[in-house]
Amino acid sequence: MIDVQTIVPFDGQTPKTRLADVLGLDERRQFARAMLRDVLTVVEDVGSTPVVLSRTPLDVGGVAVCVDDRPLSTAVNEKLRESTQSSAVVMSDLPLLTTRALRRLLERDGDIVLARGTKGGTNALVTRHPAFSVDYHGGSYDKHLRIAREVGASVSEVDSYRLGVDIDEPDDLVELLLHGDGYAVDWLRDHGFETTRSDGEPTLQRSETPPVRSAF
Amino acid sequence: MIDVQTIVPFDGQTPKTRLADVLGLDERRQFARAMLRDVLTVVEDVGSTPVVLSRTPLDVGGVAVCVDDRPLSTAVNEKLRESTQSSAVVMSDLPLLTTRALRRLLERDGDIVLARGTKGGTNALVTRHPAFSVDYHGGSYDKHLRIAREVGASVSEVDSYRLGVDIDEPDDLVELLLHGDGYAVDWLRDHGFETTRSDGEPTLQRSETPPVRSAF
* Other CB atoms within 10 A of residue A55 CB: 19
Mean pLDDT of A33-44: 98
Query: Virtual CA dihedral for A135, A138, A141, A145, nearest 10 degrees?
Result: -50
**Residue B37, pLDDT score:** 97
3-state helix, strand, coil in chain A (%, to 5): 35, 25, 40
* Other CB atoms within 10 A of residue B121 CB: 22
CA dist A58 and B139 (Å) reads 38
Q: Which positions in chain A have a beta carbon within 8 angstroms of at least one beta carbon in chain B? A: 18, 98, 100-101, 104, 116, 118-120, 137-139, 141, 159-165, 171, 174-175, 178-179, 195, 197, 200-202
**Residue A209, pLDDT score:** 58
A160 to B163: CB separation less than 8 angstroms, yes or no: no
**Residue B210, pLDDT score:** 54
**Residue A212, pLDDT score:** 52
Q: pLDDT, tens digit, for every residue of A190-206?
A: 999 999 987 778 999 99
Kindly indicate the confidence band of residue A33, based on its pLDDT and cuts at 50, 70 and 90. very high
**Residue A198, pLDDT score:** 77
Kindly indicate the confidence band of residue A216, based on its pLDDT and cuts at 50, 70 and 90. very low
Q: pLDDT, tens digit, for every residue of A171-185?
A: 999 999 999 999 999
ipTM: 0.88
Mutate to test the interface with B, among A137, A178, A203 (most CBs of B within 10 A): A178
Task: Please name the residue of chain A whose CA is at the shortest distance from the CA of residue B203.
Answer: A119
Per-residue pLDDT of chain B (216 residues; tens, 9 = 90+): 678 999 999 998 999 999 999 999 999 999 999 999 999 999 999 999 999 999 999 999 889 999 999 999 999 999 999 988 899 999 999 999 999 999 999 999 999 999 999 999 999 999 999 999 999 988 899 999 999 999 999 999 999 999 999 999 999 999 999 999 999 999 999 999 999 987 778 999 998 755 554 444
**Quick check: helix, strand or coil at residue B86?**
strand
pLDDT beyond 60 at A213: no
**Quick check: helix, strand or coil at residue B110?**
coil
pLDDT beyond 80 at A99: yes
| Residue among A8, A14, A19 at smallest CA distance from A187 | A19
CA dist B148 and B122 (Å) reads 13
Helix or strand holding residue B176 (H, E): helix B170-179
A159 to B202: CB separation less than 8 angstroms, yes or no: no
CA dist A11 and A92 (Å) reads 9
Which of B98, B165, B200 shows the shortest C-beta gap to A138? Answer: B200
Task: Please name the residue of chain B whose CA is at the shortest distance from the CA of residue A174.
Answer: B119
Record the pTM: 0.90
Mean pLDDT of A103-121: 95
Q: In sequence order, what are the beta bridge partners of B205? A: B194
**Residue B197, pLDDT score:** 85
**Residue A210, pLDDT score:** 54
**Residue A1, pLDDT score:** 63
B139 to A178: CB separation less than 8 angstroms, yes or no: yes
**Residue A211, pLDDT score:** 52
| Residue among B131, B143, B175 at smallest CA distance from B19 | B175
Mutate to test the interface with B, among A118, A165, A168 (most CBs of B within 10 A): A118
- Of A8-12, A58-62, A173-177, the poorest mean pLDDT is in A58-62
**Residue B209, pLDDT score:** 58
